[in-house]
Amino acid sequence: MGPEIAIALLDFDAADETVEFVGLVGTTDTKATAEFLDRFLEYLETEQESEFTRGTYQTYTTYQDLEGNQNDISHYAITDDYLLFTTTREVLESTVDMIISPGASLADDPELVEARNRVDESRFAF
């Protein structure tokens, strides 16, 4: 697996204690990543009595734990560059869509760049 790891907390609802997030692990070898994920999902099926079903979204293979609750990491996919894991199918699909067809980045927004430059570097990382 590759050198990049990112996790984004997208939503947290304190009222019903749900969390929505996505994680991405960079990969330089999709075959090795698929082998790793297969073994990992087998482990989860054995140890946590999960049951993963295989599907597809766009051109990528997806895995979904039909028994997982809404706070579990229960959706996985491997793209050309990332292993994705999410709490919901909707987040998985929207993340794949953004990978396939990226939009404008906030990091390129002149107002955000100006605001970031005004903050002391020791207090803010981007």
Q: Give the pLDDT confidence of 4-43 residue by residue, as tens digits.
A: 888 888 877 777 777 788 999 999 999 999 999 999 999 9
* Burial class of residue 53, CB neighbours in 10 A (0-12, 13-18, 19+): exposed
Specify the number of domains making up the chain: 1
Q: Please tell me the least confidently modeled range out of 29-33, 79-83, 88-92, 103-107.
A: 103-107
| DSSP-based three-state secondary structure for 122 | helix
What confidence tier does 61 reach under pLDDT thresholds 50, 70, 90?
Answer: very high
* Parent domain of 10: 5-123
pTM above 0.95, yes or no: no
Mention every residue, 6+ apart, whose C-beta is less than 8 A from residue 61: 34, 54, 55, 77, 78
